[in-house]
């Protein structure tokens, strides 16, 4: 397996054979992750962990999504993914999760930069979206750090644990991304 350095951590693909490690990561962050996203409710045992990772292996095989793990000190502490990826239309939706012990270190921002750059430069994606519950301030801060713009709010869009959530849509377009990358160099 390959890994890319993202400072004091590494980013690499997650595959179905890593289901046990993935489940342990979710177990450590279940309450924290589950505040805003359904991943904590979807990955509850080894079978559901394997099935979740297999769904992303299938997406990778059809070029419609990807999942990557963030490892710190050799331990899986979170990840970033493309929930959806439509290469023909040039649109992808990125997302993330992170266990609480790894929060506040910029890991998600650095990892998301890597996958967004890959999607734009290697796969020709024109628009990368970041959809986030309005109450998820940490994830909104990541979108801002990535240079995304808030497109709007889908009011009461998502039914999560019996309550309706507003979902904010943030995005960055390929020309904006490239201009930011050039300015950073």
Q: Note the pLDDT tens digit of each residue in 79-116.
A: 999 999 999 999 999 999 999 999 999 999 999 999 99
Domain that holds residue 140: 4-184
How far apart, in Å, are the Cα atoms of 18 and each of 78, 100, 137, 172? Answer: 13, 21, 30, 31
Alpha-carbon dihedral sign for residues 163, 139, 44, 102 = negative
CATH number for position 84:
3.40.630.30
Q: Is the overall model pTM greater than 0.85, yes or no?
A: yes
Count CA atoms closer than 13 A to 157's CA, side-chain side. Answer: 12
pLDDT tens-digit map of 2-48: 899 999 999 999 999 999 999 999 999 999 999 999 999 999 999 99
Q: How far apart are CA 86 and CA 81, in angstroms?
A: 14
Residue entry with tokens 């713009």? 149
Domain count, the chain: 1
């Amino acid at each position: 397996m390959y890994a890319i350095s993202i400072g004091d951590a590494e980013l690499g693909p997650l595959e179905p054979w890593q289901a046990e490690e993935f489940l342990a990561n979710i177990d450590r962050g279940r309450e924290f992750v589950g505040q805003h996203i359904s991943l904590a409710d979807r990955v509850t045992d080894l079978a559901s962990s394997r099935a979740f990772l297999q769904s992303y292996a299938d997406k990778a095989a059809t070029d419609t999504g990807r999942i990557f793990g963030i490892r710190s000190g050799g331990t899986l502490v979170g990840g970033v993914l493309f929930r959806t990826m439509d290469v023909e239309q040039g649109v992808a939706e990125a997302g993330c999760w992170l266990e609480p012990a790894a929060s506040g270190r910029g890991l998600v921002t650095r990892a998301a930069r890597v996958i967004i750059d890959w999607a734009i430069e290697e796969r020709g994606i024109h628009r990368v979206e970041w959809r986030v519950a309005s109450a998820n301030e940490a994830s909104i801060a990541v979108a801002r750090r990535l240079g995304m713009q808030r497109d709007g709010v889908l009011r009461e869009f998502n039914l999560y644990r019996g309550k309706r959530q507003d979902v904010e849509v943030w995005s960055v377009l390929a020309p904006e991304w490239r201009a930011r990358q050039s300015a950073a160099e």
